């Protein structure tokens, strides 16, 4: 007999926010690595994207709804600039934590500091600048309702 589970018991986890830093746990899978079992460098960008998306979810910012552009205030985020400093390597089956901290809110941009950590040691440090755009693809001011959720 199969026990009935509540969907919340098996849904993916979004991590947590403490002192304005979002912590997102992630395990390295075989698909993330090269033939030597080391994480391929471009996959760190994917890990950080997942962490940013989950941070927005935890803040109550519905990116799916934003992408539908239901009204004139709807915006979306696009990465405009990324700086990465690789300090170490993750390997197959490692448990990582990606931290994300908003360090600056501009009128039409958000700057975030992200780190990929293994056992508290930084493997990748990054600064990500995301632009805020409207449905026409042009820069747009960050709506106050969204900006307030970041609590800088």
Q: How far is Cα 68 from Cα 76, in angstroms, rounded to an integer?
A: 10
- Measured distance CA(33)–CA(41) in Å, rounded: 9
CA dihedral 56, 19, 46, 109 (to 10 degrees): 60
Active-site amino acid positions: 34
**Sign of the dihedral defined by the CA atoms of residues 64, 100, 90, 26, in that order:** negative
């Amino acid at each position: 007999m199969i026990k009935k589970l509540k969907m919340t018991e098996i849904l993916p986890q979004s991590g947590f926010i403490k002192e304005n830093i979002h912590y997102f746990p992630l395990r390295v899978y075989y698909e993330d690595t090269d033939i030597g079992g080391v994480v391929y460098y471009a996959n760190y960008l994917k890990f950080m994207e997942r962490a940013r998306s989950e941070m927005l979810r935890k803040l109550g910012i519905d990116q799916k709804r934003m992408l539908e552009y239901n009204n004139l205030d709807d915006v979306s985020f696009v990465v405009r600039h990324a700086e990465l400093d690789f300090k170490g390597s993750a390997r197959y089956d490692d448990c990582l934590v990606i931290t994300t901290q908003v360090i600056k809110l501009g009128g039409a941009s958000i700057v975030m500091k992200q780190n990929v950590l293994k056992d508290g040691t930084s493997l990748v440090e990054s600064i990500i600048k995301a632009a805020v755009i409207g449905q026409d693809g042009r820069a747009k001011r960050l709506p106050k309702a969204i900006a307030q959720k970041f609590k800088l």
